[in-house]
């Protein structure tokens, strides 16, 4: 089965641990890169700075509330970049604000998931996300 490369853009260490553990327990081989702020996410995707050898991910999991560049800025960058705009972007965030939800979809997010507060709910959300985006959906090829 094909390896799926996921870029996780998240600044909360606990959420990083839960998300990566849940994804690594999946039935497929996932390669997960993690960046902890919006500026680093953009550098990773542009292959600049410390990320000159980064590979373009198949899926991006993006938080809204990030330091340096927020998730909306990163999403706009991705969806306005010719070589990146086809990559599915999953907004995974604590914000349930209508403003954040609407802004994400206006900027062409592929889906918006509000993080459940309890760890069991969070793990279920990650597994459901993985089942859909990795097992069901056909991803674009690089």
Phi, psi dihedral angles at 62 (to 5 degrees): -125, 125
| pTM of the complete model | 0.89
pLDDT single digits (tens) 81-120 = 999 999 999 998 888 899 999 999 999 999 999 887 787 8
In CATH terms, the fold of domain 4-136 is Rossmann fold (3.40.50)
H or E element in which residue 69 lies: none
């Amino acid at each position: 089965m094909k390896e799926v490369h996921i870029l996780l853009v998240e600044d909360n260490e606990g959420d990083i641990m839960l998300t990566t553990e849940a994804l690594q327990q999946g039935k497929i081989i996932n390669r997960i890169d993690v960046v902890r702020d919006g500026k680093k996410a953009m550098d990773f995707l542009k292959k600049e700075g410390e990320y000159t050898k980064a590979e373009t991910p198949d899926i991006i999991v993006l938080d809204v509330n990030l330091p340096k560049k927020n998730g909306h800025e990163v999403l706009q960058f991705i969806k306005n970049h010719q070589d990146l705009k086809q990559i599915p972007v999953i907004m995974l965030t604590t914000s349930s604000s209508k403003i954040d939800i609407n802004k994400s979809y206006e900027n062409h997010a592929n889906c918006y998931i509000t993080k459940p507060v309890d760890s069991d709910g969070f793990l279920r959300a990650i597994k459901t996300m993985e089942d859909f985006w990795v097992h069901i959906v056909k991803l674009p090829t690089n």
